[in-house]
C-alpha cells in the first residue's frame, strides 16, 4: 500500500487393474480354459462391485466440488457487500514550528461484526495505528467518525465503534478457522486503492504461516498462524474479510508479499475471536 499500512510488509483404479493382471497370470498356469473363464468371471464380478463402491465415493467428492463451484458469486456478493467498509485514517507524522502538522493518509478496509449485541468494526491495527482521526464509509457511501475500542499489535487487529445508526450495520458471521484446509475456496472483499466493494477469489494456499513485519522506524515483529491464500489483494484490502463461499469469515486480510503474484496472508478467525474477547472484556 502506498500509504502507512504498506509498512507491513485414480489410485483405486490402478490397484484394480493390477490385481486383474496378476490374477490372470496365476490362473493361466494352473487351470484349463473353462476354469480360467469361470474364475475370471467371478473375479470380474467382485472387481465390478468394488469399482462401483469406489465410483460412488468419487461421485460424492465430485458432487461436493461441483456444488462449491456452482455457488453464485454474484448472489453471495449481494448478501455481504453492505457488511464491508472503507476506513480512512489521518496520521500526524510530525509537528513543525508554530504548530503546523505534517500528516499522511492511511486507507484500509473492515467489516461489521455483532459482538454480544454490540455492533463493531473489525480491521487491522496498522490501518488505524497512531491515527489522529478515523472515519468509516459504508457501502451506501455514508461516512461516520470512528472510535478505537481496542487494538493489538502482535495480531495486527483492531476493534472500532462508529456513530452510524443501526440501519447501517449488516454483521458478518465469524466461524472457526480450525477446519480450514489447503485448497478450500475463499473470497476477499475490500477497498484496494480506494476501489470500495472489490471482490476477488482464490484458494487457501497454505496454513500456519509466519511473516515478519518491519516498521518505518526499523523495529520488527512476527505475526504467526496466518492463512496464505491466492485471492488477489492490494493496498487498501487490509482489514477486509476473507470468507468461505458460504459468506462466513475465516480470516482478515493482512499482508501481501511485495511484487509477488498471489502471495497474500490473513489472520485466522480463531485468532480474531480470541483477540476481540480480550480487547472488549
Chain segment 198-218, per-residue pLDDT in tens:
999 999 999 999 988 776 666
Domain assignment of residue 216, given as a range: 73-78+174-274
38 in a structural domain: yes
pLDDT at 261: 77
Tell whether 182 and 270 lie within a shared domain.
yes
pLDDT at 81: 95
Tell me the catalytic residues: 126, 156, 238
Kindly report the CATH number assigned to the domain that includes residue 207.
2.40.10.10
Angle between helices 33-69 and 11-28 (to 10 degrees): 180
Domain endpoint, select from 21, 44, 69: 69
Tell whether 253 and 215 lie within a shared domain.
yes
Tell whether 202 and 256 lie within a shared domain.
yes
pLDDT at 163: 92
Please report, in tens digits, the pLDDT of each residue of the chain (281 residues total). 334 444 444 333 322 222 333 333 333 333 344 555 455 556 655 555 555 454 444 433 322 333 455 778 999 999 999 999 999 999 887 778 877 878 888 899 999 999 999 999 999 999 999 899 999 999 999 999 999 999 999 999 999 999 999 999 999 999 999 999 999 999 999 999 999 999 999 999 999 999 887 766 667 888 999 999 999 999 899 999 999 999 999 999 999 887 777 789 999 999 999 999 999 98
4 in a structural domain: no
2 in a structural domain: no
6 in a structural domain: no
179 in a structural domain: yes
281 in a structural domain: no
Amino acid at each position: 500500500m502506498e500509504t502507512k499500512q504498506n509498512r507491513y510488509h485414480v489410485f483405486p483404479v490402478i490397484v484394480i487393474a493390477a490385481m486383474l493382471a496378476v490374477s490372470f497370470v496365476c490362473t493361466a498356469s494352473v487351470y484349463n480354459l473353462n476354469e480360467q473363464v469361470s474364475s475370471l468371471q467371478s473375479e470380474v464380478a467382485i472387481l465390478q462391485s468394488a469399482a462401483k463402491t469406489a465410483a460412488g465415493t468419487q461421485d460424492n467428492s465430485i458432487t461436493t466440488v461441483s456444488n462449491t463451484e456452482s455457488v453464485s458469486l454474484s448472489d453471495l456478493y449481494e448478501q455481504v457487500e453492505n457488511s464491508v467498509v472503507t476506513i480512512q485514517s489521518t496520521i500526524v507524522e510530525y509537528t513543525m514550528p508554530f504548530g503546523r502538522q505534517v500528516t499522511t493518509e492511511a486507507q484500509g478496509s473492515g467489516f461489521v461484526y455483532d459482538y454480544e449485541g454490540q455492533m463493531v468494526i473489525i480491521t487491522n491495527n496498522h490501518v488505524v495505528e497512531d491515527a489522529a482521526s478515523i472515519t468509516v464509509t459504508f457501502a451506501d457511501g455514508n461516512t461516520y467518525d470512528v472510535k478505537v475500542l481496542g487494538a493489538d499489535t502482535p495480531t495486527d487487529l483492531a476493534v472500532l465503534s462508529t456513530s452510524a445508526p443501526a440501519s447501517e450495520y449488516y454483521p458478518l458471521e465469524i466461524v472457526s478457522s480450525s477446519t480450514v484446509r489447503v485448497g478450500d475456496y475463499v473470497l476477499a472483499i475490500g477497498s484496494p486503492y480506494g476501489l470500495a466493494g472489490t471482490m476477488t477469489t482464490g484458494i487457501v494456499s497454505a496454513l500456519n504461516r509466519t511473516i515478519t513485519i518491519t516498521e518505518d522506524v526499523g523495529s520488527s515483529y512476527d505475526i504467526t498462524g496466518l492463512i496464505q491464500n491466492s485471492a488477489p489483494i492490494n493496498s487498501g484490502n487490509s482489514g477486509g474479510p476473507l470468507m468461505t463461499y458460504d459468506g462466513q469469515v475465516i480470516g482478515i486480510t493482512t499482508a501481501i508479499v511485495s511484487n509477488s503474484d498471489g502471495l497474500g496472508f490473513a489472520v485466522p478467525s480463531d485468532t480474531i475471536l480470541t483477540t476481540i474477547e480480550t480487547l472488549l472484556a
